[in-house]
Every structure is written in C-alpha cells, then in structure tokens.
Amino acid sequence: MGAPVGETQQAVRPQLQGVAPAPGVTEERVWPPADVQLNDLGQGVSWSKSVTQPGEWVGILEWHVCKDPDGELSPGGVYFQNAPEWMRGPRWTVECEDPLTISPSVLCRTCGLHGFIREGRWMPA
C-alpha cells in the first residue's frame, strides 16, 4: 500500500460533515461547512486544513468544482505522513508548510484534475 514518492496519488473522498438541514427545512445547508477556511491556490483550486481533535495538522482538503452541474466545490482528502491510521488513503509529504508545498502530485479520480501544490499555488500537471 502507498505509492512511492514521485508518483501521482489520488485524493480520497472524505466523509465531510456538511451542516445538515434542520428537520422540515429543505436544502438550506451551508457549503462548504462554515468551519472550513479556504485558502486559494489559483486555477479554481483551494485547500482547507484537516486537524485532529488534539489540534494536530494532519492533512488538507483540496477543493475544486468537480463534476457538479451546480458548480459546487468538492473536497478531496490529502493526508500527511503524520495522519492517524483511521484516515484512510495515501500519504503526502509536506515539504513546506507556509507557503504550502507537498509531494507527490494530487489527482482527482472523479474528474481527472491533476496538479502539484507548490508554494501555495496549484500547478497543473
């Protein structure tokens, strides 16, 4: 398991807790969830921090408009080497936290979006 460094890795689709509509209310959820702080990478791609309960930074969600007819942002889980085991999927190496640089590249399995996050920018592969 786990691709060697240098190969492309696919972001996993996380179980995100969107804010569920209250009973009786139709589709009035907040999206992305209100606690998600998006950092713009350019090229229509953003990221937000994934933090565990003790406050450890263990990965990011990579957001882009995927195959969504409404143009809604979809998150992909990109987890770092220090992520806990229950966060399933490949692990990325953080080369720099600020500006964010990680390796290897990130691929969306759904729409094929593929690029590198380098120095806080999205660089199409």
> Which residues bind to Zn ion, rule: CB under 5 A?
66, 108, 110-111, 113
Q: How far is the CB of 41 from Zn ion (least distance, A)?
A: 14
* Residue closer to Zn ion (CB basis): 101 or 110: 110
- Cα dihedral 116, 113, 40, 30, rounded to 10, equals -140
Start-to-end Cα distance in the chain: 23
Give the whole-angstrom CA distance, residue 58 versus residue 62.
13
* Residue closer to Zn ion (CB basis): 29 or 109: 109
* Residue closer to Zn ion (CB basis): 10 or 103: 10
